[in-house]
Structure 1
Amino acid sequence: MKIKNLLLTGALVASGLATAQSSVVVEEQENAPTISRHIYGHFAEHLGRCIYGGFYVGEDSEIPNTAGVRTDIIEALKEIKIPNLRWPGGCFADTYHWKDGIGPREDRPTIVNQWWGGVTEDNSFGTHDFLNLCEELDAEPYLAANIGSGTVQEFTDWIQYVNHDGESPMANLRRENGRENPWGVKYWGVGNEMWGCGGNMTPEYYANLYRQYATFMSSWDNDSGIYRIASGANVDDYHWTEVLMRDVPKHLIEGVALHSYSFVEWESKGPAVDFNELQYFKTIERALNMETLVQKHTAIMDKYDPDGKIDLIVDEWGGWYNVEEGTNPGFLYQQNTMRDAMIAGATLNIFNNHSDRVKMANLAQTVNVLQAVILTDDEKMILTPTYHVMKMYAVHQDATRLEIELETDSYEYQGEKVPAISVSASKDSQGKVHISLVNVDMNKAHDVALDLTSLNLKKAVASILSSDDVHNHNSFDNPDKIQVEEFNDFKFKKGNLSVEMAPFSVVVFEVN
């Protein structure tokens, strides 16, 4: 993808125009990559009310449930075609011992969640519950395993418990606990944030530890189908990626992770709803920085892996703000406004455009935590603006990426600038072209002209997510304030599409 920022070129000054028209050229590319559906993954940690009081209410709850998991959440996630779900953490993963969460619930020990609020959990939601939920969702499970306080034996026992089809101590234990056939879990995280809550390790130390664990996860030629994901860098720690790519043999690794959150600043992340424009701009600026992060981490990976065999896995991303007033600060519960829709739309466009290397991503988190797609309050449930973006963008899953050349106007605040327009495009198996456009500008509309002439398309329809106030959100009193609507305010003639993108709006076109 090529991006050119019009305001930085002086084109506007030279022309004397008050506004500029952003332009997009969309073309097919030979040997174009597939946009993996796993880019649209999610994350469910034992954190706050994500699992207990979110997903899991128990089989005896008056809230309709399927084996203890809220039925309305299951149906909502099916609607956005959730491709994978990461569990049990996060920081929690490196204190979690999986055997505490199997067998009769009344016999399971408790655990103090030292990372998130110091609450005591009863381990009533464990391996069987999670993997059966993934089967119900038709989503791939992604298990993050305990490296920080666990052992190689504990890790390999878990793999055997969930994957082995023959006779073995762990496979037999699984059968005793009511599951005859293995689940066949493919995706495994070898620890989480090993530079921080996973153990405050150096990359050199972790690379050696990773090699040890990865060696015992499968056979030398990896014919077991296991996909190993190394705990990767925090934001722009390029040295971490360099060490992993340099020191880990290629036959021991399939993916390298990356974590990056969007906020004003780490110590004062700002409010989720009543933010000012400075806070909005800084959060968007940090979200758009994902483009630089992906480019630079990919360049390091290209140096050691020029054939692109190892994938970049952005398994934690999203907006992070101060918790809602009156809630436990360790629960990370926040509202979700049109600002979050901007973060979601622009970030997913970045991942789509780098789908030759980015093969999985996980929004943090699914229910009641950080940039959640679902919020609950007892029996009530609401779908957030981020949920609606995920549903709009589901058309890109497993579609062929189209090449984009973008010239964009800027969104400017107090002398600082970011690209106003974000875009990605794909072609599905039926020949339909989908184009997702985002205008992150908080104040003004931007005209966008799209050149689709090389694609020989005749008809266009569109949907939009927008509002008259960037602070607007869905609440339990007004759950449908923000909804996707049909959009007709565009022109399409002879392969040329023109649209005025409203401030802080997302539009997805379907053209065939």
Structure 2
Amino acid sequence: MQKKITLLLLLAFSCQLFAQTVTIKARPSDAAPHISKHIYGHFAEHLGRCIYDGFYVGEDSKLPNTVGVRNDIIEALRALKIPNLRWPGGCFADTYHWKDGIGPKENRPTIVNQWWGGSTEDNSFGTHDFLNLCELLDTEPYLSANVGSGTVRETEEWLQYTTHDGISPMADLRRSNGREQPWRVRYWGVGNEAWGCGGNMTAEYYANIYRQFATYMRDWNLQDDTPVFRIASGASGDDYQWTETLMKNIKPDLVEALALHHYAVTDWSDKGPSVSFDETQYFGTMREALKMEEFVVKHAAIMDRYDPEKKIALFVDEWGGWYDTEPAYEAGVLYQQNTMRDAMIAGTTLNTFNNHADRVKMANLAQTVNVLQAVILTDAEKMLLTPTYHVMKMYAVHQDATLIPLSFDSPKYTLGDEQLPAISASASRDSSGKVHFSLVNIDARKSHTIKIEAAALQLSKLSGEILSSAAIQDYNDFDTPGKISTETFRGASLRQGTISLEIPPFSVIVLKGE
């Protein structure tokens, strides 16, 4: 009898282990889409300490800087290979009048930031400062035009000011302000969140306004490689009717992309803490983050009906985790810490974008410095890189690579009566032939064994790196800025075309195969 009980226990244990094994099939295809590097974009708004006391400390600062921008931030973002940077908002964009931010700084008018804290800004960081910063970072600028409180003429003149190389009033004004050659500005947002802070418009009304603005946004610079790329203010989350209305009412020759915004928030009236959360709060955040898959699929399906050739891109130009502001930083609006939970949001969300690269052509993490799911935090002269920064750097290998479609059934991460897929994955092959797999396990308690059937990829060598920590609430602070960082991962083996590994709870692994 005892032997029978022992055998049953062993069988039960074996079944449990078998149930936790994930078999991923890699299916390279000549028809697979290109993963645009712009999926790895960023967002910088005049909000809290993102611009002032974040990026920008001023030319007279004792902190090492280049024309007022912190050198340590420039160095960190260069290492991240950020492909684009969206500015000046966000909600701030539809109160921003660009001419207030040009010319001698001592002559610029002040502005009250009515959306974020009611602070008074001196406009010392304006168009020249931002576009010069993008050149320092070797990144493409993405300007958000003021539709909510601005005019068609104001937007058209901004386009002319920044991009026209000939003789015109705005090009001449730019030259008088010290910039002879135009900048390369391709991406232009036509308003932001028109359904909310951008004007509380209906979709039908915004479609009409959009058509008016887009009609006058011409290719002033006449450079064949830099046509104006106009982005319509798109839906929030599951507002599929907004996407339907825009696709139905905007002529295809007037729009190059629709935006989509989604934040991983469980309760907008009580977002919860950024550090002292429990597993229930973590599970809820991940449930909201994983909705990105559903939103991308369903918005893309609507777009497919009107645009089967996929000429119009989907830009998820605001995404990330959003929690209550850290109490010690109330003056720094939307300042929050960044834990391993945020690494899970970043890893799973980027996998979603990679896997839908046929329609998703840009995404912008909110935000770059000191705001929401920032990749960089600063405190006076101190600076640190967050877990999200490390995930973005690990995933940079997918930029401009070719997607390798994967198929698998994920085990479940279970809490009470709820379940979520525990494993997220994407893969690509770069121009040199190297293959990369990005794997995430969001389960707060269980490791999972993964086997990747990769014989078709003809790999002979394998390496990897991992981001993990002892607790899901762990984060980097200014006393221990290196507590969480990537490490070499040696736990993967490659035998007869099959990759085998065990992925720990709440961890991110990127494998390189050659």
Q: Normalising to structure 1: TM-score of the pair?
A: 0.96
1:261 paired residue number: 263
Q: Deviations over 1:211-263 (max 9, x none)?
A: 00000001699966000000000110000000000000000000000000002
Q: d(CA) in 1 for partners of 2:23 and 2:158?
A: 51
Say if 2:389 is the partner of 1:390: no
1:41 paired residue number: 41
- Find the partner of 1:453 among 455, 458, 466: 455
Q: d(CA) in 2 for partners of 1:405 and 1:378?
A: 47
1:244 paired residue number: 246
Q: d(CA) in 1 for partners of 2:330 and 2:117?
A: 7
Q: d(CA) in 1 for partners of 2:511 and 2:282?
A: 26
What amino acid does structure 2 have at the position aligned with 1:168?
Answer: S
| Secondary structure of the structure 1 residue equivalent to 2:262 | strand
1:149 paired residue number: 149
Question: Residues 190-339 of structure 1: matches in 2 within 5 Å?
Answer: 190-218=190-218, 225-328=227-330, 331-339=333-341
1:17 paired residue number: 16
Q: d(CA) in 1 for partners of 2:223 and 2:62?
A: 45
Cα deviation for residue 42 of structure 1 reads 0.1
What amino acid does structure 1 have at the position aligned with 2:444?
Answer: M
Equivalent pair of 2:266/2:284 in contact (CA under 8 Å): yes
Paired residues, number: 501
Equivalent pair of 1:389/1:465 in contact (CA under 8 Å): yes
2:80 paired residue number: 80
Q: Deviations over 1:191-229 (max 9, x none)?
A: 000000000000000000000000000169996600000
Equivalent pair of 1:116/1:330 in contact (CA under 8 Å): no
Say if 2:497 is the partner of 1:495: yes
Equivalent pair of 2:49/2:332 in contact (CA under 8 Å): no
| Secondary structure of the structure 1 residue equivalent to 2:136 | helix
2:378 paired residue number: 376
Equivalent pair of 2:33/2:358 in contact (CA under 8 Å): yes
1:352 paired residue number: 354
Equivalent pair of 2:113/2:121 in contact (CA under 8 Å): yes
Q: d(CA) in 2 for partners of 1:312 and 1:415?
A: 34
Equivalent pair of 1:142/1:185 in contact (CA under 8 Å): yes
**Pairwise CA RMSD of aligned residues?**
1.6
Equivalent pair of 1:142/1:187 in contact (CA under 8 Å): yes
Q: Deviations over 1:318-339 (max 9, x none)?
A: 0000110132277100000000
What amino acid does structure 1 have at the position aligned with 2:63?
Answer: I
| Secondary structure of the structure 2 residue equivalent to 1:386 | helix
Cα deviation for residue 160 of structure 1 reads 0.2
Deviating more after overlay: 471-480 vs 18-27: 18-27
Q: d(CA) in 2 for partners of 1:489 and 1:197?
A: 48
What amino acid does structure 2 have at the position aligned with 1:181?
Answer: Q
Percent identity among equivalent residues? 64
Equivalent pair of 2:35/2:398 in contact (CA under 8 Å): yes
Q: Deviations over 1:100-154 (max 9, x none)?
A: 0000000000000000000000000000000000001000000001000000000
| Secondary structure of the structure 2 residue equivalent to 1:408 | coil
Equivalent pair of 2:21/2:448 in contact (CA under 8 Å): yes
1:482 paired residue number: 484
Q: d(CA) in 1 for partners of 2:185 and 2:135?
A: 11
Deviating more after overlay: 261-270 vs 353-362: 261-270
Q: d(CA) in 2 for partners of 1:141 and 1:211?
A: 23
Equivalent pair of 1:450/1:496 in contact (CA under 8 Å): yes
Q: d(CA) in 1 for partners of 2:35 and 2:305?
A: 23
2:423 paired residue number: 421
Deviating more after overlay: 349-358 vs 217-226: 217-226
What amino acid does structure 1 have at the position aligned with 2:16?
Answer: L
2:4 paired residue number: none
Q: d(CA) in 1 for partners of 2:165 and 2:318?
A: 32
Q: d(CA) in 1 for partners of 2:231 and 2:223?
A: 13
Cα deviation for residue 442 of structure 1 reads 0.7
1:362 paired residue number: 364
| Secondary structure of the structure 2 residue equivalent to 1:17 | helix
| Secondary structure of the structure 2 residue equivalent to 1:42 | strand
Cα deviation for residue 22 of structure 1 reads 1.1
Equivalent pair of 1:460/1:510 in contact (CA under 8 Å): yes
1:170 paired residue number: 170
Cα deviation for residue 426 of structure 1 reads 0.2
Equivalent pair of 1:458/1:494 in contact (CA under 8 Å): no
2:99 paired residue number: 99
Equivalent pair of 1:29/1:402 in contact (CA under 8 Å): yes
Q: d(CA) in 1 for partners of 2:178 and 2:20?
A: 64
Q: d(CA) in 2 for partners of 1:30 and 1:73?
A: 39
2:6 paired residue number: none
Change in CA separation of 1:260 and 1:355 when aligned onto 2, cut-off 3 Å: same
Q: d(CA) in 2 for partners of 1:469 and 1:330?
A: 26
Equivalent pair of 2:94/2:150 in contact (CA under 8 Å): yes
Cα deviation for residue 264 of structure 1 reads 2.3
Q: d(CA) in 2 for partners of 1:449 and 1:265?
A: 37
What amino acid does structure 2 have at the position aligned with 1:233?
Answer: A
Q: d(CA) in 1 for partners of 2:232 and 2:102?
A: 26
Question: Residues 86-125 of structure 1: matches in 2 within 5 Å?
Answer: 86-125=86-125
Cα deviation for residue 494 of structure 1 reads 1.3
Cα deviation for residue 68 of structure 1 reads 0.2
Change in CA separation of 1:42 and 1:334 when aligned onto 2, cut-off 3 Å: same
Equivalent pair of 1:323/1:329 in contact (CA under 8 Å): no
Q: d(CA) in 2 for partners of 1:16 and 1:126?
A: 61
Q: d(CA) in 2 for partners of 1:328 and 1:181?
A: 41
1:6 paired residue number: none
Say if 2:462 is the partner of 1:436: no
2:59 paired residue number: 59
| Secondary structure of the structure 1 residue equivalent to 2:42 | strand
1:180 paired residue number: 180
| Secondary structure of the structure 2 residue equivalent to 1:499 | strand
Cα deviation for residue 16 of structure 1 reads 4.7
Give structure 2 stretches of 5+ with no counterpart: 1-10
| Secondary structure of the structure 1 residue equivalent to 2:431 | coil
Q: d(CA) in 1 for partners of 2:503 and 2:455?
A: 21
1:140 paired residue number: 140
2:507 paired residue number: 505
